[in-house]
Chain A
Amino acid sequence: MTGRHISEVELALATGGDLGLARGLRVWFHTRRCSRCAALLEGYAASRRALRESAGGDVMSPDAWAGLSREMTANIRLGLAAGRIVDFQSEARLLAPEPAGWRVAVVMATLTVVLTSGWLLRRPVPGAAGPRSSWAVAEASAEGVGIHEGQAGLMLLGPDRESSVMLAGTSGGARARFIDEQTGQVTIHHAALED
């Protein structure tokens, strides 16, 4: 025996070479002279060998593995296909307007802003009476929806996303629908003209 014994933790780590160089050397020198620690170290080495023998190697025979592998590959393939269907359905659900909740509040707020802006644009300007020189036009473009009348106009710019739908109606309005792909939030811009 020599000096203080090596701790069990250090012996356990030394078995797999998981100690640093200095501590590993200390364990090595110590166990050369200390039969107690050497026996403990050998015990750890033996249990590690038993673990590797019992758990190591292939899990099953080649034939059994071939069958299981085929089955798993087919299931993975099926799972991927099912995932695509679920994604598609989620996408379709996102395109449909939500009936309630905070999304409705967002849509209503946007509509209010658009309608107020439209009303302000159409408000008679003092001293500007006379024959009408131009028509108000509701417009839907890749940039967003808006209303133009002569030189004046208002454009609600939309996000530059593929998941947007632009609609220009014949009844004097334009709508744009955007879907935030991250949150699933649907935003509808509606620019409408009123007589």
Chain B
Amino acid sequence: MNEAHHPQVEGNEPGAWDARHEEFVQSHLKRIFSIVYKILGNVEDAQDVTQEVFIRALQRREQLKDLEKAAHWLSRIASNAAIDHLRRRKRISWTELDEPLQNALPAAAEGPEELLLRSERRVQLQSVLDQLTPRERAALILRDVEDLPAGEVARILNCGKATVRSHIANARAKFKRLMGAGI
């Protein structure tokens, strides 16, 4: 998921689109969309939030001169934007999941039965994730799916390490219980 190359984004006029903007967006778009989608579980919402994150980022180019900071900052605002979005909506309609799942798999890799099975697993997964609080869900996704260290997750969620460990432990316990219950 991590990109090896992080371009610098600098320019003369704020907001003017140039090749560096294009390169910057293409370098980070998939990673950021993936994080947001896994937190929101909904392609349309993930698309809106991802676009908003990049527009905000490119409007503040001065914060993106440092490459490491740019990648980290993007993850941070993407996670926070996704959490805010969840808070605003409270309940996400997971029925829209069917739409991306039609496109979700390489055509030659799986047959209809495997596709259906995988689709059901995803629906179950999202139902379980929906039971977690936004911060628990974000912590779980960032730590266990994106494989970020707990310290990094704490920085992204803007909280202490102890707090993020608490979110992770709660999220894992709930996830295990709900998956066991077959929700």
Q: Measuring CB to CB, which residues of chain A are less than 8 angstroms from any residue of chain B?
A: 8-9, 12-13, 15-16, 18, 43-44, 47-48, 50-56, 58-65, 68-69, 71-73, 75-77, 79-81, 83-84, 87
Contact flags (1/0) for B102-125 with A, using CB distance below 8 Å?
Answer: 011111000000000000011011
Residues of A within 8 A of B176 (CB): 12, 43-44, 47
List which B140-162 residues lie within 8 A (CB) of chain A: 140-141, 143-145, 150
Contact A69 B144, CB 8 Å, known A18-B150, A76-B55: no
Contact A47 B180 (CB under 8 A): yes
Q: Measuring CB to CB, which residues of chain B are less than 8 angstroms from any residue of chain A?
A: 14-17, 21-22, 25-26, 29-30, 33-34, 37-38, 43, 47, 50-52, 54-55, 58-59, 100, 103-107, 121-122, 124-125, 140-141, 143-145, 150, 165-166, 168-170, 172-173, 175-176, 179-180
Can you give 5 contacting A-B residue pairs, CB < 8 Å? A56-B145, A60-B100, A72-B29, A76-B55, A83-B59
Task: Give the most central of A9, A51, A71: most B CB within 10 Å.
Answer: A51
Contact B104 A61 (CB under 8 A): yes
Contact A48 B144 (CB under 8 A): yes
Residues of A within 8 A of B50 (CB): 72
A75 to chain B, nearest CB (A): 5
Considering only CB atoms, which chain A residue lies closest to B168 in the complex?
A18
Contact A13 B180 (CB under 8 A): no
A4 to chain B, nearest CB (A): 18
Query: In the complex, A60 Cα to B33 Cα: how many Å?
Result: 11
Interface contacts beyond A12-B176, A13-B169, A55-B38: sample of 9 additional A-B pairs, CB < 8 Å, sorted by A: A13-B172, A43-B180, A47-B180, A48-B172, A50-B179, A68-B33, A80-B59, A83-B15, A83-B59
Query: In the complex, A76 Cα to B103 Cα: how many Å?
Result: 23
Query: In the complex, A108 Cα to B14 Cα: how many Å?
Result: 35
Contact A55 B172 (CB under 8 A): no
Contact A64 B103, CB 8 Å, known A47-B175, A73-B25, A80-B55: yes
Among A50, A64, A72, the residue within 8 A (CB) of B104 is A64
Among A48, A53, A54, A73, the residue within 8 A (CB) of B22 is A73
Residues of A within 8 A of B106 (CB): 61-62
B20 to chain A, nearest CB (A): 13
Contact A47 B104, CB 8 Å, known A59-B34, A72-B51: no
Query: In the complex, A88 Cα to B69 Cα: how many Å?
Result: 29
Residues of A within 8 A of B180 (CB): 43, 47
B152 to chain A, nearest CB (A): 12
Query: In the complex, A16 Cα to B58 Cα: how many Å?
Result: 35
Contact A55 B145 (CB under 8 A): yes
Residues of A within 8 A of B145 (CB): 51-52, 55-56
Considering only CB atoms, which chain A residue lies closest to B161 in the complex?
A18
B24 to chain A, nearest CB (A): 10
Query: In the complex, A75 Cα to B55 Cα: how many Å?
Result: 9
Contact B140 A51 (CB under 8 A): yes
Residues of A within 8 A of B51 (CB): 72, 75-76, 79
Considering only CB atoms, which chain A residue lies closest to B149 in the complex?
A18
Query: In the complex, A170 Cα to B17 Cα: how many Å?
Result: 44
Residues of B within 8 A of A69 (CB): 26, 29-30
Residues of A within 8 A of B121 (CB): 53-54
Residues of B within 8 A of A75 (CB): 51
Residues of A within 8 A of B104 (CB): 59-61, 64
Contact A81 B173, CB 8 Å, known A51-B125, A61-B106: no
